[in-house]
Amino acid sequence: MSDLRLEGTIFEDLRKTFATVTDRMDTARRTLRGTDGTAVGEHQLVDAVHDFADDWGYGIKQLAKHTQDAVKMIDKIGKSFEKLDLDLAESLKTPKSAPKKGS
């Protein structure tokens, strides 16, 4: 390997963090979708609770989508970094010709 080093677990740690966020967002969205606003009684308040749940459900879905995109990007960056590291290591193995004296 070359001198170019980045802790190998950093990409996996980032991936786990973002994947966990995605899972938690999806759980929250499903919970909000199942909200029973009738428990609050008043018709207008029930409607407001359902609207709130719908709005937040949509927002959470969008956040989950973006965290999934972040996981894909982290995977891509990790693969690119690994390839760059291997290419650099390989280039260091190739002997370079020394410049000629007097030229």
Mean pLDDT of 89-103: 71
Mean pLDDT of 7-36: 79
The answer on pLDDT for 103 being more than 60 is no
| CB within 8 Å of 23: residues ≥ 6 apart | none
What is the token pair recorded at 97?
């010709």
pTM: 0.59
Q: Which helix (H) or strand (E) holds 59?
A: helix 43-93
Using a 10 angstrom Cβ sphere, with 0-12 exposed, 13-18 middle and 19 or more buried, the burial of residue 25 is buried
- Asked if 22 and 61 touch (Cβ cutoff 8 Å), the reply is no
CB environment 60-80: b (16+ within 10 A), e (fewer): beebbeebbebbeebeeebee
pLDDT (tens digit per residue) in 23-52: 887 788 777 777 777 777 788 888 887 888
Residues in the chain: 103
- Asked if 25 and 63 touch (Cβ cutoff 8 Å), the reply is yes
